[in-house]
Amino acid sequence: ISICRDLPNIEVITFSVNGISDLEPLNQCQNLSELYLRKNNIASLNELFYLKNLPRLRVLWLSENPCCGSDPHRYRMTVLRNLPSLQKLDNQAVTEEELSQALVDGEEITAPPARRNVENGCPESSTAESTTETESELLNFSLEETNKIREELGMKPLPRDKFSSFSPRETDCNRKKRNNVLNAILLLMKELDTEGLEIVQQTVGRRLQASRKKELQED
């Protein structure tokens, strides 16, 4: 997610199922209008502090994060009190009545959260909840993002069986890092013009040729 510091003009960010816990890099994305963060490791609603000064943010999907807690009403009211410009939260439209109620029931966030001791975006420990489901979602998400990149480069999509090396044998942290890299590449692709895309296409073509040549030599 740190790549977002270098993408101030990005408008839509999808980082669902990504092990993200820190939203600070997003506070520079002044053109951000849609943000998808479902199923991450966001522990505190104080992370909303970094989104409060994003004037164009209209869509936020934050459900299935630890910060949502056990009281859905309090969670929704707190989000809407701090982000009153939202038109949709967790795929549900925001009403004028909710915005008024949020001023009463929501908690005002005035400071960023205390930082956790997390290195390289990978928590020292993680819960075992829904491990199999999470691995599958990470694999599907990575495959989808990879094929989007390949499509933009004029390449054929990868079938799932050719993508199996991304899955369960790797550590959870490595999967998340790889997924973050794929997301970063996709975000950067959106910033490139035709000339930039052609350079990327040529570079990828050379890398693929070298990789295929190496595979043939190994066989």
pLDDT in tens, 3-31: 888 888 888 888 888 888 899 999 989 99
Number of domains in the chain: 2
pTM flag (> 0.85)? no
Task: Report yes or no on 147 lying in a domain.
Answer: no
Long-range contacts of 3-11 (CB under 8 A, 24+ apart): 3/183, 3/184, 3/187, 3/188, 4/28, 4/29, 4/187, 7/187, 7/188, 7/191, 9/191, 10/187, 10/190, 10/191, 11/56
Encoding tokens for residue 149?
Answer: 């990149």
pLDDT for res 120: 43
Which of residues 75, 105, 135 is at a domain's end?
A: 105
pLDDT in tens, 157-188: 766 655 443 434 444 555 556 666 666 676 67
Question: For the domain that residue 55 is a member of, what is the CATH number?
Answer: 3.80.10.10
pLDDT for res 146: 62
Calpha distance 108→101 (Å, rounded): 13
pLDDT for res 135: 47
Residues 6 and 100 in one domain: yes
* Alpha-carbon distances of 47 from 170, 178, 179, 189, rounded to whole Å: 29, 24, 22, 27
pLDDT in tens, 93-149: 999 999 999 999 999 999 888 765 444 444 444 444 444 444 455 555 556 656 665
Mean pLDDT of 184-200: 74
Calpha distance 63→148 (Å, rounded): 25
Task: Report yes or no on 158 lying in a domain.
Answer: no
Calpha distance 180→142 (Å, rounded): 9
Residues 7 and 101 in one domain: yes
Residues 100 and 21 in one domain: yes
Lowest mean pLDDT among 31-45, 53-67, 121-135, 197-211: 121-135
Mean pLDDT of 35-60: 93
Task: Report yes or no on 206 lying in a domain.
Answer: yes
Task: Report yes or no on 69 lying in a domain.
Answer: yes
β-strand partners of 89:
60, 92
Cβ atoms of 23 and 111 within 8 Å: the answer is no
Task: Report yes or no on 131 lying in a domain.
Answer: no
pLDDT in tens, 77-87: 999 999 999 99
**What is the C-alpha radius of gyration for the chain, rounded to an integer number of angstroms?**
19
> What band does 193 get if pLDDT is binned at 50, 70 and 90?
confident
Residues 13 and 99 in one domain: yes
Residues 7 and 93 in one domain: yes
Task: Report yes or no on 128 lying in a domain.
Answer: no
Q: Which domain holds residue 204?
A: 173-218
pLDDT in tens, 69-79: 999 999 999 99
CA 129 to chain centre: 20
Task: Report yes or no on 139 lying in a domain.
Answer: no
Which of residues 105, 120, 146 is at a domain's end?
A: 105
pLDDT for res 86: 95
Helix (H, G, I), strand (E, B) or coil at 34: strand
